[in-house]
């Protein structure tokens, strides 16, 4: 029982949650089965940094959808607060927030997901859960209240995960602009002498490039 109630970690199945949102009641992760989804929490509605984040997420919403990825926000504010805030964003900043926002008024979802980091505090930290089409948590990011998220990095992560899954490769730092291999992808290290020899033959044929047998890369 203790294992089931601990906060979820990378590699875990996203927990089953029945949630109330600005778009009505939703069951997670079932609602997005077969899609990637990003659940991101924010400290509160009508706050400056959170407003810039929601605007930025919405500006990239079409790009996320092209990547088969949905967005869902969360804070412990009530639905009416979410609705009024998104109305304000639309009226004053010209962006209609199209994705749902979880209204976690009693804080149970925040507690279940490990989003309350201050002793006795009620505001959720800026967390990001990236969940794949099989409902597995692939990444968890935490940010303090004073630092807004970089949405382009979150888009990059989705692209990187999808590339890794499709091609069985790893993604280098700052991809697709890595300082060593450019936009190439990294091949998993060889796990046998036979695999090492195979890598050397591939390198001779120009199929891959290697700094050594454990550090090989190729075009995607």
216 is catalytic: no
CA 180 and chain centroid, separation: 26
Structural tokens at position 183: 């936009």
Q: What is the DSSP letter of 193?
A: H
CA 139 and chain centroid, separation: 6
Report the greatest alpha carbon distance in the chain: 64
**Active-site choice (28, 50, 71, 97):** 50
CA-wise closest residue to 157 among 38, 40, 18: 38
Under 8 Å between Cβ of 142 and 195: no
Query: Which of the residues are catalytic?
Result: 50
């Amino acid at each position: 029982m203790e294992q089931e109630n601990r906060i979820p970690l990378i590699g875990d199945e996203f927990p089953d949650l029945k949630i109330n949102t600005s778009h009505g009641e939703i069951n997670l992760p079932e609602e997005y089965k077969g899609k990637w989804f990003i659940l991101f929490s924010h400290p509160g509605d009508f706050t400056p940094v959170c407003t810039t984040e929601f605007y930025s997420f919405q500006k990239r919403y079409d790009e996320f959808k092209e990547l088969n990825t949905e967005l869902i926000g969360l804070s412990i504010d009530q639905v009416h607060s979410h609705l009024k805030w998104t109305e304000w964003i639309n009226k004053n900043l010209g962006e209609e927030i199209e994705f749902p926002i979880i209204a976690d008024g009693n804080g149970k979802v925040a507690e279940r997901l490990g989003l309350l980091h201050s002793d006795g505090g009620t505001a959720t930290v800026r967390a990001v859960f990236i969940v794949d089409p099989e409902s597995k948590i692939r990444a968890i990011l935490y940010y303090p209240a004073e630092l807004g998220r970089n949405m382009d990095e979150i888009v990059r992560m989705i692209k990187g995960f999808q590339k890794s899954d499709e091609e069985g490769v790893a993604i280098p730092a700052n991809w697709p602009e890595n300082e060593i291999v450019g936009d190439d992808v990294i091949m998993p290290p060889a796990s046998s002498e036979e695999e090492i020899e195979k890598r050397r033959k591939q390198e001779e044929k120009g199929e891959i490039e290697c700094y050594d047998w454990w550090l090989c890369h190729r075009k995607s």
